[in-house]
Amino acid sequence: MSLNGAAYIAGAFEHPTRKAPDKSVAQIHAEAAKGALDDAGLTFDDVDAYFVARDGPGVLGGIGMAEYMGLTRLRHLDNTETGGSAPLVMVGHAAAAILAGRCRVALITMGGKSLTGDPKRMMPDQYGAPELPFEAPYGINTHAIYAMAAQRHIHEFGTTREQMSWVKVSASQHAQHNPAAVLPRPVTLEEVSESPMIADPLRRLDCCLNTDGGGAIVVVAPDIARQLKRPPVKIRGAAEAFKHQDGGRVDMTYTAARFTGPRAFAEAGVTPADIKYASVYDSFTMTVIITLEDLGFCEKGKGGAFVSDGNLIAGVGRLPVNTDGGGLCNNHPGGRGGIPKLVEAVRQLRGEAQPAVQVPNCDLALVHGTGGFITTRGGSCTLILERE
Amino acid sequence: MSMDERPISAPELNPEVEAFFDAAGDGKLLVKACTDCGKAFHYPRAMCPYCRSISTEWREASGKGEIYAFTVLRRAPIPYAVASVRLAEGPQMITNIVGCDFDRLRSGLPVRVVFRASEGGAPVPMFTPEGDSE
């Protein structure tokens, strides 16, 4: 059954904080929920479905946050964990649940404190993970995992240092217009290429931010969307897919976007050439290059050329990407960048992006999340959204 | 362990994988292989991830392989190299490359297994460039 038109995004809210030593994680979730419901013109009492990944605090994160927020009418709960892509996956799950008649107003929240929280407690407990004895002793971390993908991509396709730097330069060109961005200063190719080496070939300015914050999304049934005052944002396509090491036979140069892209485009009945704006998960510069290839915006191995020469910059290139400045310059709350990606796409479709980066007549957008760990295990999700 | 190498955290053992680390204590690298479809895989587990047979066995690996992908964690207190090494038996494994100048590392570099003590636990297999004496 197609999700094309099954549900609408009615509310979208990016928590304004980037550093919140004075707030709890639960508080960030709740404030984000309030922001998204206010945006939609709905209330907590309208919510009958709640979606939150393992960033929801507590053993029963979903029920725990429902208790905190006083949600008493829930008839659908979803705690799917795919890392930073989880809120995107949940938009698809919410649309499916609405289509199946299981709920009508779905609230998705995300919150985290990767800047001022305890880093040791940010990761879910790994006790019993079957891979643990074969990974933890080697000191692998997020940087190492993404760096190996970047190194192999360079090895196979000749992707250059300067091409990677273009992704950060493009993000910073957008961030200069975003008053909430953590890093609003435009940077040069040289600054990126000469920033300190973190994990070869990834340098400091190839890496996304660590911020406190979060956000929320409200997904509703079509008849409710039509009664609300905000411009309706229709879900036209939603696809999720997962990739792991497959018993030790893993090609690190692609992600599960290779599978979600074609399925989302087919469901929406559009092609990459139709997309006016794209929010693309940017945990690292290379994540964007690999993802754009996998989604079909260019041939495999040509992503470096595609992102160069300002091609991702609004008003300059063919495909404006992450016009809020992305995780590289604006916000990457709790180590999970999915919510800001969704919110900026909704802003673009409503015509509410910062004027300097607003894409003219932006009626079709793509949002892509790359969750987890690109070379070991992770979840991808592609959404295609349309302003009616 | 030489003085310039970082401390290795002890692998968290479970009954499914104890034999792997017991063998590491004897200086042997094991891989799990399926006795039905014949494929070797890593990490080791009781069920073949390819044909889902529960008839699997430990095999002693040659200890030879080549670097598929790698990185060097430059900002760590003691920098170290993380790699995916493709074993001669087929599967890739996440590991560390030790005992060499990290600037030599490249995809395709032949490597062989060596073992490093962990902190209070079993030795852990790692790799060093083939031909280097150690």
Nearest residue in A to B106, CA atom: A155
pLDDT at B23: 98
Q: Searching chain A, which residue's CA lies closest to the CA of residue B85?
A: A248
Contact A86, A43 (CB under 8 A): no
Instruction: Please state, in angstroms and rounded to a whole number, the distance separating the CA atoms of residues A95 and A101.
Output: 10
- pLDDT of the residue at B133: 59
CB contacts, 8 Å: B25 with chain A: none
Closest residue in chain B to residue A131, using alpha carbons only: B43
Contact criterion met (CB < 8 Å) for B74 and A140: no
Distance, CA of A338 to chain centre:
2
Contact B76 A139 (CB under 8 A): yes
Which pLDDT score, from 0 to 100, does residue A3 have?
97
Structural domain boundaries of chain A?
8-116+212-234, 140-209+238-387
Q: Nearest residue of A to residue B121 by CA position?
A: A137
Backbone angles phi, psi at A202, to 5 degrees: -85, 125
CB contact under 8 A, A246 and B49: yes
pLDDT at position B5 is 85
Residue A318 Cα, gap to closest chain B Cα (Å): 32
Number of domains in chain B: 1
Section B99-103 average pLDDT:
95
Residues A100 and A184: their CA atoms lie apart, in Å, by 43
Q: How far is A180 from chain B (nearest CA, A)?
A: 29
Q: Is the pTM above the cut of 0.95?
A: yes
Residue B13 lies in a domain: no
Nearest-by-Cβ selection for B82 from A130, A144, A198? A144
Q: Which residues of B touch A144 (CB under 8 A)?
A: 71, 73, 82
Helix, strand, coil % over all residues of chain B, rounded to 5: 10, 40, 50
The string of pLDDT tens digits covering residues A341-380 is 999 999 999 999 999 999 999 999 999 999 999 999 999 9
**Which of A245, A246, A251, A254 should be substituted to probe chain B, the one whose Cβ sees the most B Cβ atoms within 10 Å?**
A245
ipTM confidence score: 0.96
Q: Which domain holds residue B41?
A: 18-129
Residue B3, pLDDT above cutoff 70: no
Q: What is the CATH number of the domain that holds B45?
A: 2.40.50.840
Inspect the interface and report whether the beta carbons of A148 and B14 lie closer than 8 Å.
no
Classify domain A140-209+238-387 at the CATH class level.
alpha beta
- Let me know if residue B10 belongs to a domain: no
pLDDT of residue B1 exceeding 50, the answer is: no
Q: Does A136 touch chain B (CB under 8 A)?
A: yes
CA-based nearest residue to A210, from A15, A2, A18: A18
Confidence of residue B134 (pLDDT cuts 50, 70, 90): low
Q: What is the mean pLDDT of residues A188-197?
A: 98
> A residues 199-218 near B, CB within 8 Å?
199-202
pLDDT at A59: 85
**Does B62 fall in a domain?**
yes
Asked whether the predicted pLDDT for residue B113 surpasses 80, the reply is yes
Whether the predicted pLDDT of A11 surpasses 50: yes
Max Cα-Cα span within chain A: 55
Q: Do B118 and A137 touch (CB under 8 A)?
A: yes
CA–CA dist A204, A183 (Å, integer):
13
**Class of CATH domain A8-116+212-234:** alpha beta
How do residues A288-343 score in pLDDT, each as one tens digit? 999 999 999 999 999 999 999 999 999 999 999 999 999 999 999 999 999 999 99
Smallest Cβ distance to B69: which of A138, A151, A202?
A151
Q: Determine, for residues B43 and A131 on separate chains, whether the beta-carbon distance falls below 8 Å.
A: yes
Interchain proximity B82–A138, CB inside 8 Å: yes
DSSP string, A299-318: -TT-HHHHH-TTTTSTTTSS
What is the dihedral sign for C-alpha B45, B50, B54, B55? negative
Q: Of A47, A58, A85, A2, which is closest to residue A287 (Cα–Cα)? A: A85
Window from A202-211, B3-12, B107-116 with minimum mean pLDDT: B3-12
Are the folds of A8-116+212-234 and A140-209+238-387 the same?
yes
A123-162 pLDDT, tens digit each:
767 888 999 999 999 999 999 999 999 999 999 999 999 9
Average pLDDT, chain A: 97
